[in-house]
Structure 1
C-alpha cells in the first residue's frame, strides 16, 4: 500500500525468487551439454517427456486439473499451437547450445520483448508509441549490421525470438495458470515425444539406458530443470511489479552472452559488437518506456510477456 505518495517497497522474497528463476535460465547452456552424446532431437524429446511427467504431478498436488477440464475445444487448439511453437523454441535452443552458438541464443532472447511488440502491431493491430517505434527501428538496424558483418542473418537468434514471440501471443489467448498451461502443452506434444523416445530405444539408436546411471539421471533432470525456474517465476510474478520482472528478464540473455563469449570463446567481430550494442540501446529505450507507462497506467493494464521458463 502506498503511504503519502511514496512508492511501495519491493518484496525482497519476490525479487529473490525472480533472480533465482533468471539465474537458472541463464545457466541452461551449461546444463544441456551434460546430456551428450545424445543428439539435440533426443534431448528435446526427453525434455518434453520428463517435463510433462513432472508438471502432471505438480498439477495433481495443486488440484489444478479443473482448469484443463474446463478448457473449450478452441482453447485446446490454441494450447496445441502454443505447444508446437514452444517445441520449436526448445529445439532451436538445444541445437544452438550443441553447436556452441550461445551468443546467437542470447541475441534471440534479448530481442524477444521487441518481437512481442512487433507482433502486437502486426497481429493485434496495437498502436506502438514513439519510443517503441524507435526501439524496433534500432533493433532492425542491429539485425542488418550483424547480417552484413557475418554474411548471413542471425537465423538461430531470429528463430528463437520469433517462436517465443508467437508463443507469447498464443498464451494471451488462453487464460490458464502457468502450471496448467505448461501441463496442457506437455499433454499435447508429450505422447509424440514419448513415442519417439521408445522408437529410439527399440531400434538401438537411443542413449537413455546405454550410458550408465549418470546419463539416465541427467536426462530425467531435464524435466525439473525446465519446470523449476517456471515455478519460481510464477511465484515472483505474484509478489513484485511487472516492471521489476521485465528488468530482471535481461539477466538471462546477459548470462548466456557471457557464457558464449567467455566460456565457449565464440567469435565476436566488430560488426557483432556493434549489432549487440544497438540491441542493448533498443532495450534500454523499451525498458524506460515501460517504466513510464507503468507510472501512468495501473499494473493490471500491462500484460506481461510469457514466462521465460518455457525456454
Structure 2
C-alpha cells in the first residue's frame, strides 16, 4: 500500500507524485553539474549547503512553519537524529558530485540501482518490514553484481556502495524523525552551515581564488544549487513519510536509469565488460523486485475491493 497514515478523510495523499518528481530531478542532476564543473567538488558542496539554507528559510517563512522549526530545535532527540542525517546527506552529496565530475557516471548510476535493494534490507533490519522470497532472490542477485565489480572494477565500487549506504541510511533516519520535511531539511542545513562556510573560506584563500562572484553565469549556477538541492530532498522527505519504504525504492529506479542513459549519450563513457556484467545482474534483480512488488500490489487491491 502507498498510503500509510490517515488525514482528515482517513488517508494521507499519495506520496507517489512527490517520489517521481524527486527522482526525475536527481536523474538529470549530472546535466546541472556540467554547468559548475569548474568548481572543485568539495567547494561546490560547501556552496550547495550555504545556498540551500536561505532557500529553505524563505519557504519556512512563506508557509509559517517557524513554530515547528523552533519545536524541533528544542527537542534533543530530534536534533541528535538530524545531526546524523545531516552527516549522511553531506557525505552523499560529496561522493556523488565528485563521481560525476571525475567521470565515474556509471559508478554513480550503479550506486542508486543498489540503493532500493539496500532499502528493503534496511527496512527488514531496522524497520521490521518483511521480505518475500522473491525479494531475497533479488537481493542475492544484486550481491552477485557487486561481487562482479570486485573482480574487475574495485576502484569504483566504493563510489557505488558509499552512495547506496549513505542515502539508504539517510532515508531510514528521516523516516523516524518526528519533524516535517521542510523544517528537518532547514535544521540539517543549519547543522552543516559552519563546516560549509569553513570549506568555502578555505578554497577562497587558495591559489585559484573564489569560484563565486568572479563570473556571472557560474555564480548564478552555484546559487541555483540551493533550489536543485532543496526541492528534490523536500519531495523525497514527503514521499518517505507517506509510502512504505520498500515501495519507495521502486520509484527510485527512475534516477539511476536516467543517469545511466546520460553516461552513454551526453558523457559518452565507455562501458567495459565488467561494468556491463554487473549492470545486467542488477537489472535482473530489479526486474524480479519490480515483478514481485507489482504482484503483491495487485493482490492487495483485489483483497481490498468490497464484496
TM range (shorter): 0.7 to 0.9
2:5 matched to which residue of 1?
none
Q: CA distance change for structure 1 residues 206 and 193 in 2, over 3 Å: closer, same or farther?
A: farther
2:147 matched to which residue of 1?
144
2:265 matched to which residue of 1?
262
Residues 107-145 of structure 1, C-alpha deviations (whole Å, 9 max, x = no match) = 001111111222234445554321221111001001111
Shift of residue 235 of structure 1? Answer: 7.2
1:167 matched to which residue of 2?
170
Residues 63-72 or 129-138, more deviating: 63-72
Shift of residue 150 of structure 1? Answer: 2.7
Kept in 1: contact 2:114–2:164 (CA 8 A): yes
2:90 matched to which residue of 1?
87
1:35 matched to which residue of 2?
36
Kept in 2: contact 1:40–1:95 (CA 8 A): yes
The DSSP-based 3-state class of the residue aligned with 2:224 is helix
Shift of residue 159 of structure 1? Answer: 0.6
> If the length of structure 2 is used for normalisation, what is the TM-score?
0.82
Residues 226-235 or 183-192, more deviating: 226-235
Kept in 2: contact 1:144–1:153 (CA 8 A): no
Aligned equivalents of 1:169 and 1:231: distance in 2?
Answer: 15
Matched, 1:112 2:115: yes
Residues 178-219 of structure 1, C-alpha deviations (whole Å, 9 max, x = no match) = 212211111111222123223433556543345321111111
Matched, 1:180 2:183: yes
Aligned equivalents of 2:78 and 2:21: distance in 1?
Answer: 31
Kept in 2: contact 1:200–1:206 (CA 8 A): yes
Q: CA distance change for structure 1 residues 230 and 207 in 2, over 3 Å: closer, same or farther?
A: same
Kept in 2: contact 1:139–1:279 (CA 8 A): yes
Q: CA distance change for structure 1 residues 64 and 289 in 2, over 3 Å: closer, same or farther?
A: farther
> If the length of structure 1 is used for normalisation, what is the TM-score?
0.81
Q: CA distance change for structure 1 residues 246 and 128 in 2, over 3 Å: closer, same or farther?
A: closer
1:275 matched to which residue of 2?
278
Residues 246-280 of structure 1, C-alpha deviations (whole Å, 9 max, x = no match) = 54432211110011122222221222222111111
1:7 matched to which residue of 2?
none
Kept in 2: contact 1:260–1:266 (CA 8 A): yes
Aligned equivalents of 1:243 and 1:170: distance in 2?
Answer: 15
Residues 274-309 of structure 1, C-alpha deviations (whole Å, 9 max, x = no match) = 2111111212222233334445669xxxxxxxxxxx
Q: CA distance change for structure 1 residues 20 and 152 in 2, over 3 Å: closer, same or farther?
A: closer
Aligned residues: 286
Q: Which of residues 288, 293, 296 is equivalent to 1:285?
A: 288
1:50 matched to which residue of 2?
51
1:158 matched to which residue of 2?
161
The DSSP-based 3-state class of the residue aligned with 1:54 is helix
